[in-house]
């Protein structure tokens, strides 16, 4: 069984699904010219397995210098504490997710749903506003604020092999007012993602979609479901 899945050159799924614990979101890795970045970390119980997946596949974990936390739910940030320490990586997240990531407010992390204890982590790079660009030692990422599932959720894009890869994460929801969910904001956020015209979508739990018409169809299916 494969320990990682190649999405496209230099982009991989390294956790989630059959690759690690079923509690994990889908965890992705993006390789840059001089460093790599993880997109989310899973719920935490399988952080060591995710690292083993990476190392067993010939990718040097020493090059992983950044971790992007798309939002503060435990299935996305539970592994932050261990992976940040092990990798000596810098954590990147939106300002509006700090109460979950840095303070560990249980109504925001939903840690009790998964039966795990969350260990708060300091965010090294705090994103503010609606959009921005990250130059991570030559690895070029763009981000966009997509509130709706949570208040400070972000999506990330990278151009690899002339393809735009979108880490849209939890496009499918779910929604809960305790987390700050807002369906009107979510719909606006989904239209932001459609305007990005991505060639490949790396979703947070339900797989990888391409080419571009399939990406659009996936996002629009949820807009239809929650209209």
With 90 as the cut, is the pLDDT of residue 112 above it? Answer: no
pLDDT of residue 2: 75
pLDDT of residue 1: 59
Task: Go through the domains of the chain in sequence order and give each one's CATH number.
Answer: 5-225 (3.60.15.10)
Q: How does pLDDT run across 24-81, given as a tens digit for each residue?
A: 999 999 999 999 999 999 999 999 999 999 999 999 999 999 999 999 999 999 999 9
Alpha-helical segments (H) within the chain: 47-56, 74-77, 80-87, 98-101, 106-109, 111-114, 183-196, 212-225
Q: How does pLDDT run across 142-171, given as a tens digit for each residue?
A: 999 999 999 999 999 999 989 999 999 899
Interatomic CA distance for residues 96 and 93, integer angstroms? 8
Three-point CA angle 139, 141, 147, nearest 5°: 155
Contact call for residues 142 and 132 (beta carbons, < 8 A): yes
3-34 core/surface letters (b: 16 or more CB in 10 A; e: else): bbbebbebbbbbbbbebbbebbbbbbbbbbee
Report which of residues 116 and 168 the model is more confident about. Answer: 168
> Can you tell me the mean pLDDT for 195-206?
97
């Amino acid at each position: 069984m494969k320990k990682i899945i190649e999405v496209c050159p230099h982009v991989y799924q390294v956790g989630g699904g059959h690759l690690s614990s079923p509690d994990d979101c889908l965890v992705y890795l993006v390789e840059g010219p001089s460093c790599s970045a993880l997109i989310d970390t899973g719920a935490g119980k399988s952080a060591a397995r995710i690292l083993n997946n990476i190392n067993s596949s010939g990718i040097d974990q020493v090059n992983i210098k950044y971790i992007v936390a798309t939002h503060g739910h435990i299935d996305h940030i539970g592994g932050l504490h261990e992976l940040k320490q092990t990798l000596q990586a810098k954590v990147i997240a939106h300002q509006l997710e700090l109460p979950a990531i840095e303070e560990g407010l249980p109504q925001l992390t939903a840690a009790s749903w998964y039966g795990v204890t969350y260990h708060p982590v300091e965010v090294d790079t705090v994103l503010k506003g609606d959009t921005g660009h990250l130059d991570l030692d030559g690895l070029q990422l763009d981000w966009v604020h997509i509130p709706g599932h949570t208040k400070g959720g972000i999506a990330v894009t990278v151009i690899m092999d002339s393809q735009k890869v979108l880490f849209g994460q939890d496009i499918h929801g779910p929604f809960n007012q305790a987390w700050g969910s807002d369906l009107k904001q979510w719909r606006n956020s989904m239209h932001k993602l459609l305007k990005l015209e991505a060639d490949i979508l790396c979703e947070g739990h339900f797989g990888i979609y391409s080419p571009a018409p399939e990406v659009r169809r996936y996002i629009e299916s949820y807009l239809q479901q929650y209209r």
